[in-house]
Amino acid sequence: MSVNFQTYMASWITAVNDKNMTTLSDLLSDDFVWVNDKLKLKLDKHETLAWCKDTPFKAGDFSCYYENNEVLVGIHDVIEPNTPDSSVMFIAKIIDGKIVSHQYLREFER
């Protein structure tokens, strides 16, 4: 499966909103890492898929800022119960057609 912005975002929506991990799991490399420096979050592939399965968050409204065969950059909305809506900006790095890292920043509306 070829990875591009649309494919990657659709896989996150399916994982987070529908609790189906198959496509996201296929796109992530075995040594994948999901990072947020501000929150000191660092999850591996297995932990990321478990988070997607267990989270009450919903994702949507993805917008691509930049993509090529090495990186995907974009934003998306996060809907979290009992919390103001927020936006996430992320950079996903690609090696050999697999996502090897996903680093994000999340800011609440002010």
Dump pLDDT digits (tens) for 35-58: 987 778 899 999 999 999 999 988
pTM here is 0.89
Q: Percent of the chain scored above 70 by pLDDT?
A: 95
The DSSP bridge pattern shows strands 98-108 and 28-36 to be parallel
| Structure confidence at residue 79 (pLDDT) | 80
Residue numbers in the chain where pLDDT is lower than 50:
110
Rounded to whole angstroms, the Cα distance separating 39 from 4 reads 27
Q: What is the CATH number of domain 5-108?
A: 3.10.450.50
Q: Using an 8 Å Cβ cutoff, are 108 and 86 in contact?
A: yes
Looking at residue 108, what is its pLDDT? 57
Q: According to the model, what pLDDT value does residue 110 have?
A: 37
